[in-house]
Structure formats: structure tokens, C-alpha cells
């Protein structure tokens, strides 16, 4: 008689199947379509990642996985939909690290960024880059500093973190480069390629699709070490900006009140997707750097950033919008 894999595992002494130990809600999930809300416009790095993850999860689930964009107010519009949802695992959201930062940059936040959500998975690390069009007359930070001294420039960003990093680049270079806000990295890159925007601070995922065109140039990366996606691009530290090391992340959240066992169940499925070679190869192609952490790891990262941004706000480095 031929045993199924599940039956064979169940027959092994002392080995319990994960589903047996889970509460009923976690065992029955999903009982309807799973919705992943992306609270940003289509085409940006988070949207690209969420859709790749949904594609990887669909074959493992008996229900559809649907990605919905609900952009507006730096992610608040879409996140409010998550907050109002039932904590049954059928509504999740993929947010960037400014989900925490918004507490210190928005005049009013209609929820608590830490207490009103349930961490599920840290997904990726977002190395930020300062990018320009290939037709611009500067190729590195030193040339940019010299050019900006006599020519007015603007830089673009998509949310509070990329705005902060872009302005920190300018502050450390001791030049004035006002920021222009965009709804997504895709829209920002469209203007970079067209020459309408001289500079932009965005994620590697937003830049990667345009590198093969030869129409964009990366001036610097925001982390202490070079990104594996653009190993020839020097860091800000290598170009004289000592201790410059800033990055973001993308995390998967559920509503407040989601059972810990259910959050772990969803994380295990996400972990399975990240262990798939085809999925990881797709992330590499898209310029997305995996940084998978479990619910506790994501919670720790959120609490750490809350302390960082509280200190930055107290020092006057963050402005309310």
C-alpha cells in the first residue's frame, strides 16, 4: 500500500503534524479568499513584492490570494481598512517601515501603529538608493555637490523614510535640494527616466526594472555595505558621508486581535514561499533583498524603530505633515 506524505509523517513516532496542534481557527484558515492590501499605488516596490508573494502562495492554498491597492495618506488609507477587518487572517497588509514612522510625521494617525496590528512576517530589507537620469551632469556625490552649489535641483521621494534619507543625503552634502512627493516608486522612476526629475530616493526594487535601459544612474546606496543588486555602486560612506546607514523594510501585518497561532501559521506559509528557489530567483530579478523574520522578529524591529523615530522627532529631524 502506498502512503501519502501526510500519512507517512503522521505514522512516525513522536512527530505531530503542525495543523493538529493549532487552534480551530488556524486549522480552518483560509475559508475564503485572502486579501493582501497594499496601501500604496501600483508599480512601486511593495506592490511588486506583494504580487510576487501572492503568486507564490496561491498554489499552497485552497482559496484565492488577491492583492488590492488602496493608496493614500502615506499608507494610512489602506492600513485603516486592515484595522477595521476581522482578525481572522483573511485580510492582511504589506507595509513599509514608515508604517511606524508615520506616528512622528503625520499630524493625525487614526490608529496606533504598534498596538492596533498583529505582526506576521518581516519580508524584505529595503536598501534605498539615490538615483538620477543618465543625462544629468553628475556621476557621484562629489560631482552632485559641486553641481548643486550653482544649480537649483529637486529630489523625489514616495514616503517619509525615503524623504528623510534623501534629505539626509542633502544635509550631509551641505546643499539645499527640496523634496517632491510621489505616490509610488514607479511614478518617481517614470519622471527620472523622462528627465523631469533630476534626483530621486527610492528602493532597489523600483530602480531595477530601469537599469537595463541605460537611462538611469545610481549615485549612492543608503546602507553601510554595498547592495548585492548593484555591487559597483559605492555607498554614501565610501563617498565621504561617515556612518551613513539607513534602510527600510516591508512587513506583513494582520489586524489587532489575530491569534498568535494563526499569525504563526501564515508566517510558516510565507517562509515556505521564501524557501522556494524559483521565488527567491524572482526576488533577485526584481531587485528585492529577502530578510525573513517571524512575528516576534517583526515586532522587535517595529519597536526598535519606534524608539529611533521618537528620538529623531525630539531632535527636530522629522517634520509633521
Domain ranges of the chain: 20-126+247-314, 127-221
- CATH 3.40.190.10 holds for 127-221: yes
Handedness of CA 201, 205, 211, 213 (dihedral sign): negative
Contact 189, 44 (CB under 8 A): no
Mean pLDDT in residue range 131-140: 97
Name the CA dihedral angle for 187, 189, 194, 200, rounded to a multiple of 10 degrees.
110
Q: What's the chain's average pLDDT?
A: 90
d(CA 114, CA 111): 9
**Count of other CB atoms within 10 angstroms of residue 139:** 12
Contact 11, 3 (CB under 8 A): yes
Q: At 25, is the pLDDT very low, low, confident or very high (cuts 50, 70, 90)? A: low
Q: At 114, is the pLDDT very low, low, confident or very high (cuts 50, 70, 90)? A: very high
Q: What percent of the chain has pLDDT over 70?
A: 92
Superfamily of domain 20-126+247-314: Bordetella uptake gene, domain 1 (3.40.190.150)
Q: At 160, is the pLDDT very low, low, confident or very high (cuts 50, 70, 90)? A: confident
Q: What percent of the chain has pLDDT over 90?
A: 73
C-alpha distances out from residue 234 to 141, 167, 168, 193, 247, Å: 10, 19, 17, 21, 15
Does residue 79 have a pLDDT over 60?
yes
* Residue, of 70 and 17, whose pLDDT is higher: 70
Q: Which pTM value belongs to this model? A: 0.75
125, containing H or E segment: strand 117-133
Q: 43: closest CA among 192, 227, 189?
A: 189
**Count of other CB atoms within 10 angstroms of residue 36:** 19
Query: Residue 22's pLDDT is what?
Result: 54
Query: Residue 86's pLDDT is what?
Result: 97
Q: At 20, is the pLDDT very low, low, confident or very high (cuts 50, 70, 90)? A: very low
Query: Residue 270's pLDDT is what?
Result: 98
Whether 20-126+247-314 and 127-221 share one fold: the answer is: yes
Does residue 319 have a pLDDT over 90?
no
C-alpha distances out from residue 166 to 63, 116, 216, 280, 314, Å: 41, 30, 17, 29, 20
Does residue 3 have a pLDDT over 70?
no
Query: Residue 26's pLDDT is what?
Result: 73
Amino acid at each position: 500500500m502506498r502512503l501519502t506524505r501526510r500519512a507517512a509523517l503522521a505514522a512516525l513516532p513522536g512527530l505531530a503534524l503542525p495543523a493538529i496542534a493549532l487552534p480551530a481557527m488556524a486549522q480552518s484558515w483560509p475559508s475564503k479568499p485572502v486579501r493582501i492590501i497594499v496601501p500604496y499605488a501600483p508599480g512601486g516596490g511593495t506592490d511588486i513584492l506583494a504580487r510576487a508573494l501572492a503568486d507564490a502562495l496561491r498554489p499552497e492554498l485552497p482559496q484565492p490570494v488577491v492583492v488590492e491597492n488602496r493608496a493614500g495618506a502615506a499608507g494610512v488609507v489602506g492600513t485603516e481598512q486592515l484595522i477595521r477587518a476581522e482578525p481572522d487572517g483573511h485580510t492582511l497588509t504589506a507595509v513599509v517601515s514608515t508604517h511606524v514612522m508615520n506616528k512622528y510625521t503625520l499630524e493625525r494617525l487614526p490608529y496606533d501603529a504598534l498596538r492596533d496590528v498583529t505582526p506576521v512576517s518581516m519580508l524584505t530589507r529595503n536598501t534605498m538608493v539615490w538615483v538620477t537620469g543618465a543625462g544629468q551632469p553628475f556621476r557621484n556625490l562629489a560631482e552632485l555637490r559641486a553641481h548643486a552649489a550653482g544649480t537649483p535641483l529637486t529630489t523625489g521621494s514616495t514616503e517619509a523614510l525615503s524623504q528623510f534619507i534623501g534629505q539626509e543625503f542633502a544635509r550631509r552634502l551641505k546643499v539645499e535640494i527640496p523634496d517632491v512627493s510621489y505616490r509610488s516608486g514607479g511614478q518617481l522612476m517614470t519622471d527620472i527616466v523622462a528627465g523631469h526629475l533630476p534626483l530621486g530616493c527610492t528602493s532597489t526594487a523600483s530602480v531595477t526594472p530601469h537599469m537595463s535601459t541605460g537611462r538611469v544612474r545610481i549615485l549612492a546606496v543608503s546602507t553601510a555595505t554595498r547592495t548585492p543588486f548593484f555591487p559597483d555602486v559605492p555607498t554614501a560612506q565610501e563617498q565621504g558621508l561617515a556612518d551613513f546607514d539607513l534602510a527600510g523594510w516591508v512587513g506583513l501585518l494582520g489586524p489587532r486581535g489575530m491569534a498568535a497561532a494563526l499569525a504563526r501559521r501564515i508566517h510558516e506559509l510565507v517562509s515556505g514561499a521564501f524557501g522556494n528557489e524559483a521565488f527567491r530567483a524572482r526576488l533577485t530579478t526584481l531587485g528585492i533583498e529577502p530578510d525573513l523574520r517571524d512575528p516576534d522578529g517583526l515586532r522587535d524591529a517595529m519597536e526598535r524603530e519606534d524608539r529611533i523615530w521618537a528620538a529623531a522627532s525630539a531632535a527636530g529631524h522629522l517634520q509633521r505633515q
